[in-house]
Structure 1
Amino acid sequence: MTDIGPPAIAAGEKETLVAFLHYLREAIIRKVEDLPDDIARTPTLPSGTTPLGLIKHLTGAELVWLEWAYLGHDPIPELSMTLTEEDTVKSCITAFRKASAHADELLKPLTNLDTTSHRENRTLRWILIHTIEELARHAGHLDILREQYDGQTGR
């Protein structure tokens, strides 16, 4: 796994935040994409956390804040880490990429980071920063799970 560093960007606030979202999404995918399905489904921690469970959770996390909380759209996206028989590395990454692309489309017309969300007393800036924090925290969890499996480290 080739290590990738954070984006080297000199841009406005929104562009910088979105660049970090893209960077973290790809770092998350890189931690999971070449794992065998059985390994990606197997918990190695007492909490039961798995690589596939984390990516499944993150598939909804970004949209909960952006689509449901900020824009006020229903229904609330799924946040569960519970896997079904049909969940595979390929299917979970495909769903994550689709949700990320949808989030990008929702973000495109939004220009004022100071506007308050529909359901929460949070600005778009807060939502973007919180989403980055959520992705980064779980990317760190995936770092640990991946290192436990095969010793690979890096972003």
Structure 2
Amino acid sequence: MSDTQSPDRRHQQPSDERATLDAFLDDYRDIVVRKVSGLSDADARRPMVASGTSVGGLVKHMRWAEYGWFYQLLQGKRNHNHRPHERSWEFAFLPDESLSTLVAEYQSQCEESRRIAARYPLDHGVPHVNFGSVSLRWIYVHMIEETARHTGQLDILREQLDGATGFDG
């Protein structure tokens, strides 16, 4: 995989808590894109583990996780992060989809998440049907955890597909 490296914001000593949370989440968002860069649709569609998980399915799911937590929940449009479709659909890389489109949609949703989050203080709380209330701070930490976990899965899938290892490609 030959892809330009993005700066590692996490090691640039962000100035405050908000900048630190932004840096960690944005670094993992960037790693997602770098990790899938250069894969064909056929490879991104291939399930490499018994669960049927594919690279394309993970990218699609992460796009919708961004939507659920930032667009729906943080803005108070719903009192949960569940999307208006079956959860299994998020993990299915359908024949009429392309990896380049899924990545573009993910990047667009991440940009929208950044714009939404910037409007609220970290202590801003919203009701959640399962957790009582969650703050923007909690959403950030959860999304860092979720994106990092799925980035690790992408790393393993990529290594199985073509031997590329490491989060930076």
The two structures have a TM-score, normalised by structure 2, of 0.83
In structure 2, the residue matched to 1:24 is 28
Q: Is the 8 A contact 2:14 2:23 kept in 1?
A: no
Deviations 1:80-107 (A, max 9, x none): 1112222111111111011011101101
Mapped to 1, the partners of 2:23 and 2:60 lie a distance apart of 22
User: Structure 1's 93 and 15: CA in aligned 2 closer, same or farther, altered over 3 A?
Assistant: same
Alpha-carbon shift at residue 22 of structure 1 (Å): 1.0
Q: Is the 8 A contact 1:63 1:77 kept in 2?
A: no
The 5 Å alignment of 1:133-152 reads 133-152=145-164
Q: Is the 8 A contact 2:117 2:136 kept in 1?
A: no
Q: Does 1:105 align with 2:122?
A: no
Q: Is the 8 A contact 1:42 1:50 kept in 2?
A: yes
One-letter amino acid of the counterpart of residue 83, structure 2: I
Mapped to 2, the partners of 1:77 and 1:105 lie a distance apart of 22
In structure 2, the residue matched to 1:68 is 72
Alpha-carbon shift at residue 13 of structure 1 (Å): 0.7
Mapped to 2, the partners of 1:132 and 1:154 lie a distance apart of 18
Mapped to 2, the partners of 1:94 and 1:16 lie a distance apart of 25
Q: Is the 8 A contact 1:68 1:77 kept in 2?
A: no
Mapped to 2, the partners of 1:97 and 1:73 lie a distance apart of 22
In structure 2, the residue matched to 1:95 is 105
In structure 2, the residue matched to 1:48 is 52
The two structures have a TM-score, normalised by structure 1, of 0.90
Q: Is the 8 A contact 1:64 1:77 kept in 2?
A: no
User: Structure 1's 154 and 81: CA in aligned 2 closer, same or farther, altered over 3 A?
Assistant: same
In structure 2, the residue matched to 1:85 is 95
Alpha-carbon shift at residue 77 of structure 1 (Å): 6.0
**Secondary structure in structure 2 of the residue aligned to 1:122:** strand
Q: Does 1:154 align with 2:166?
A: yes
- Counting aligned pairs with the same residue, the percent is 34
Alpha-carbon shift at residue 6 of structure 1 (Å): 5.5
Mapped to 1, the partners of 2:138 and 2:27 lie a distance apart of 18
Alpha-carbon shift at residue 57 of structure 1 (Å): 0.1
Alignment partner of 1:121 out of 115, 133, 142:
133
Gaps of 5+ in 2: none
One-letter amino acid of the counterpart of residue 67, structure 1: Y
